[in-house]
Amino acid sequence: MSINVYSEVKDLKRVLLHRPGLELENMEPDLLEELLFEDIPYLKKAQQEHDYFAEILRTNGVHVEYITDLLATALSEENIKKEFVDEYLFLSEVKNEYILEALKDYLLSFDTKQMINKIVSGIRINEFKLRKENFSTKVRMNKQFYLLPLPNLYFQRDPVAFVGKGIVINKMMTKARRRESLFMKYVVKYNRDFKSTPVYYDMSYYFAIEGGDVLVLTDKVLAIGISQRTEPEAVEILAKKLFYETDESFDTILAINIPKKRAYMHLDTIFTMIDNDKFLAHSKLESSLLVYVIKKGKDDLEVIEEKMSLEEILQKYMNNGKIKILKCGGEDEIAAKREQWNDGSNVLAIKPGVVIAYDRNYVTNTLLRENGINVIEIPSSELSRGRGGPRCMSMPMNRGK
């Protein structure tokens, strides 16, 4: 499969999604904090909204791939399926030997697609009985799940990042999401369509990085957030890999230091690219940001510290003096806070000046249209409860040249 991502806005050709499933119905209030949610989406409506999103993409000439389908193809052989289950249970930290063996047998009793659905949706304690029990099993079974669900999986932006002609398989910061990256690890390793895809970072590294912090601004420049979820060491490792061990064209990384808090979770939470010279940003984004400009030096990385506005940084390093920043919610402070909460600044460009946005963020969408942006709205009453927008829900695999 040809991977080609050298822009945030060039014509989107192929994209990776996950259609939400029973994992949303396996959430309950006591698990929300652990699973990184603040509310529980209504599954039926969330699926309808997601299907509408996928259909909008197809209508605009985008080929839609689903991560669970790619994984099912990768796990077509029984020995690979067993290898995946072993690694998944290890990452799930299943320590009791009786529970571990029972889970292996239970998961491998299903065909591949059913097994993947089970893994995503989570496995409740009442689904099967252990053949053997001891004191520790009784203690560990005093809860609701053998395996917790993966409700964040519909945010496909984070577990992986397609960069240039390769892939970054991310080490996720939180325990709740760490298992998600395993899906693409096996896709790249065993799905024949990906056999020639170079891997620029993988989940075996100690340091966390997540795809929502990675923006491919041009074929020369990346922006990566140093955030609540991405560590500077991961940025350094990736920079050295891209600059010195590949034939990629990237020569500059803008490592943007952003507040380490939930409201600024990822870089794309606070700004996204919407046209060749336009960006949409958090209305309260600091007027001066600390940015580490990492350049490809002759023998080692060269780092320059810059303290300037986002607009100035982008103009300077994208070599485009026409860069313009539009504020989520405009000048209305209440609308700005409300629409930022509902991911008004997290939109997906499917071509220059054409974006997909949540319909609920109507103040921001009106502002975009007034500035020449074609906004395609999608329903969002349930999808938005997960605190992520159209960009968060999608991972571009191929964009036009």
Q: By the 8 A CB rule, do 392 and 383 touch?
A: no
Reply yes or no on whether 392 is catalytic.
yes
Query: What backbone phi and psi angles, to 5 degrees, belong to 150?
Result: -115, 70
Q: Which of 392, 393, 395, 397 is catalytic?
A: 392
The DSSP output letter for 212 is G
* All residues at 6 or more sequence positions from 370 whose CB lies less than 8 Å from its CB, including other chains: none
Q: Residue 202 and residue 257: Cα distance in Å, rounded? A: 22
How is residue 196 written in tokens? 């020639």
Q: Residue 5 and residue 163: Cα distance in Å, rounded? A: 5
Q: Residue 374 and residue 365: Cα distance in Å, rounded? A: 9
Q: Residue 286 and residue 311: Cα distance in Å, rounded? A: 11
* All residues at 6 or more sequence positions from 74 whose CB lies less than 8 Å from its CB, including other chains: 80, 186, 187, 189, 190, 191
How is residue 219 written in tokens? 């074929």
Burial class of residue 246, CB neighbours in 10 A (0-12, 13-18, 19+) = middle
Q: By the 8 A CB rule, do 151 and 179 touch?
A: no
**Helix pair 112-121, 78-91: axis angle to 10 deg:** 10
How is residue 346 written in tokens? 């997290």
Closest C-alpha among 218, 390, 234, 228 to residue 314? 218
The DSSP output letter for 11 is P
Q: What are the catalytic residues?
A: 392
